[in-house]
Structure 1
């Protein structure tokens, strides 16, 4: 084959010259980004609707403000994926802020310790002998505003004020997302001075409103953001996710190919969640389930979405060792607490129903840890409304991104800036006949088979079609039939018991 130069002319050089042209032979390295969409505190440094990289939970606090939704999302994301490339995007909040009151009705004359859990975080107040209800209320408000969990770095996404014996707690951000923000007086804490009728918690203002994420999603442009966490699951924003990710004009369109997958949350009974899932059919959307308010969800929606997604993203982004293809069941989610009413946690039958309806599932371990069960997309039917599980597993989306990017890179290394001809009898480096374009794809399939991303590379080579377009002399068309590796979800065994084996 002729040697191809990019800078050294192939003809016309007469004067003596000994020259080396330095070019790249191509060295592919996969990479992925996790993007968290949420709210910042008023006056925080980060600009609205601007994707911004962060390297730690502390940096997110500096940019978004302590206790902000985004800072807390980043915190749990780094708990689950410490080295993942993570970006944040602040979307302006709209609507009405949730307001709750905590009225201190009585305190023990001899003092003690009072505990209330807010979003699963234990806020404690030391009561001295003789303290009045007004004094305790003031101490509680101060404790809420100053709360910081030194072990986990958690802060509260609410602010408190006090008037006489009543603490007023206001959400840091506007919006319906706070609808099941959790307040709970634990009774299992020995001697809890707030137990019983000592305090009365009342939700005085129900939150309303959802942010308009149009500008936030548009701000992504064509930058690569493979995994996007946005806890806002109202119908309008779900439609925006579909518009932003779609295969015709969105991030998955042939003329953009920047990809992306949105993870959001929805809360409700099994029936309600199933209804939500069956109304959707989008392979670029995943819904993390949460139980209804009655179950008591200590972990807010935005933290559950960020924590669960971050827990699986390192595997979904690993196309080198086969992790992208693995069953994810049992991965314990850091930073999420289970619902208090375990009787409402779906059984196997319930989880199976949700999964078949396009809703993902989690489990609660005996030690109270929340763990991944199975993560799916909402895709259930093909364009003809026929059942189709091709894009059901979230692994399929991770594999697809890995395969397409690797294929594109290999084709670019081998055939970028070339000329197209049916044959290349002179072996010129500047020409690429269709037959030679097959080679890097076959080699790429072999490599990805060895990495556990796809299988049956030989079958791929047999079925691969590369041909010149009959209408355009400058175009090559490729049919690349990919057989992906599947997660091992079910092992079914028949344990047949004998009193004694029959004689052979």
Structure 2
């Protein structure tokens, strides 16, 4: 038994009398992985931030300074912080692509105004109130629109006026500018909004934006080994979605056993039912979530930021909790643009997520799913259907890794059945398996997983030689309650 107990830092050649105590924390680690999210988007050409370099966010004011007021990153961070005010947020700024074009639109005015009032113009979901006086001509109103817009630096567009026509140009070049909408009096007379008598407004929605940043793939490669639980971005073009899919791939990406960095990306799509369905059927990414938003005045980048925010808050509470019924602070689609029950059910079979709108006009998450629909054999596969499954898997895997690493960081491996002296830094594959079972039981108490006895019965532990232990861990993640169905039997008396 002599020498079987190792005391870190103590020399066995010591002959000086005394008491020598070493602190060993291998059995005391209760820390969990840091939870952080990443916002990916474009900055303005005049902004001082270095494109392609991730950095921690210093808040909305900091975003204005570094990325520019009205930039994608400013708007996304602002909208994220309306829901999650405490989570750790990082930002990956991108420059507009050199070959891209900015989306443009126009506002054509006619007058003169026959009554004083306020023209309630909306750019995205931002109200731009424009004062109108009796007799104002189209030229005067157009100039006043430009002045009113300049007073709101967070707008994602710039405006200029000539001959009663306001030209609207997206601040960031690229395809995303095509999704910025304009509207007038969106709340209607019930909301106290109307166009002053004598004035008419014709909107030509933004279009013509081309080419999202081709630097995205290179920028994503710069993320290094920092873990980001969730990534929000405004892109739905094939090249960008492929870059995110490769980043998070199970075999070569951040979900692979050689990286173990994990993560999940979230974006939104401006499309009607038919276009959204076509888009969804073409996707197949277990680590991506896309929300169709129809004609919501809010831009997809705002939806992506807030969807990530409610998911991040829910994940910190418990990753297995359904991300359901959580409120977003965005203007909803019109009544005609809200997807019906059968359309939403179809979306959930086509890799697309869903939301509802309550009677007060509040947008509520309904079900967030991944775009994964088929396995490598082309067979329908629902194993990665819900985002909660991936969130829970990530937390369980991180926790199991931390637990085992703390207990077996510097250990001798011997064959199963070997007699190990008390206190010796040695173990067997079976003992490691027993530790995994113990930790799984603890994870079940957190309601991340279930059926610990089944796990214990079916775990496989193998000493593969060469100092390698291989485990087959039969996880059974917790489910989410989605449906309660009942058959109502009634009688009459």
TM-score (norm 1): 0.90
* Equivalence for 2:83: 80
The aligned length equals 481
* Distance in structure 1 (CA, Å) of the matches to 2:199 and 2:149: 20
- Aligned ranges for residues 24-423 of structure 1 at < 5 Å? 24=25, 25-94=28-97, 95-147=100-152, 155-186=154-185, 188-189=188-189, 192-193=194-195, 198-203=200-205, 206-212=208-214, 213-291=216-294, 296-318=295-317, 323-334=318-329, 336-340=330-334, 342-422=335-415, 423=418
Cα distance 1:204–1:384, how it changes in 2: closer, same or farther (>3 A)?
closer
- Aligned ranges for residues 488-499 of structure 1 at < 5 Å? 488-499=481-492
* Equivalence for 2:473: 480
CA deviation profile, 1:73-129 (whole Å, cap 9, x unmatched): 011111121211111111122311112222322132453322211112221122234
**Cα distance, 1:259 vs structure 2:** 0.8
CA deviation profile, 1:458-487 (whole Å, cap 9, x unmatched): 211111121201xx3311110100011100
* Distance in structure 1 (CA, Å) of the matches to 2:106 and 2:452: 63
On the 8 A contact 2:110/2:138 being kept in 1, the answer is yes
Note the residue ranges of structure 2 that are not aligned, 5 or more in a row: none
Cα distance 1:63–1:461, how it changes in 2: closer, same or farther (>3 A)?
same
* Distance in structure 2 (CA, Å) of the matches to 1:220 and 1:161: 39
* Equivalence for 1:425: 420
CA deviation profile, 1:298-319 (whole Å, cap 9, x unmatched): 001100111112112211233x
CA deviation profile, 1:375-421 (whole Å, cap 9, x unmatched): 00112223333222221110001100110011001101111111100
On the 8 A contact 2:38/2:228 being kept in 1, the answer is yes
CA deviation profile, 1:241-287 (whole Å, cap 9, x unmatched): 12111122111111111111111222323232222222222211111
**Cα distance, 1:203 vs structure 2:** 4.5
Say which is worse superposed, 223-232 or 491-500, in terms of deviation.
491-500
* Equivalence for 1:151: none
Cα distance 1:424–1:410, how it changes in 2: closer, same or farther (>3 A)?
farther
Q: CA RMSD in A?
A: 2.0
**Cα distance, 1:345 vs structure 2:** 1.6
On the 8 A contact 1:244/1:250 being kept in 2, the answer is yes
Out of 445, 453, 476, the residue aligned to residue 458 of structure 1 is 453
On the 8 A contact 2:232/2:305 being kept in 1, the answer is yes
* Distance in structure 2 (CA, Å) of the matches to 1:486 and 1:191: 46
SS in 1 for 2:319: helix
* Equivalence for 1:152: none
- Aligned ranges for residues 10-25 of structure 1 at < 5 Å? 11-24=12-25, 25=28
**Cα distance, 1:372 vs structure 2:** 0.3
* Distance in structure 2 (CA, Å) of the matches to 1:406 and 1:48: 33
CA deviation profile, 1:303-362 (whole Å, cap 9, x unmatched): 0111112112211233xxxx321223211112x11112x123222211111101111111
Note the residue ranges of structure 1 that are not aligned, 5 or more in a row: 149-154
* Distance in structure 2 (CA, Å) of the matches to 1:458 and 1:204: 59
CA deviation profile, 1:55-76 (whole Å, cap 9, x unmatched): 4322222222221111110111
TM-score (norm 2): 0.92
* Distance in structure 2 (CA, Å) of the matches to 1:78 and 1:346: 27
Cα distance 1:431–1:207, how it changes in 2: closer, same or farther (>3 A)?
same
* Distance in structure 2 (CA, Å) of the matches to 1:301 and 1:165: 30
SS in 1 for 2:224: coil
Cα distance 1:204–1:391, how it changes in 2: closer, same or farther (>3 A)?
closer
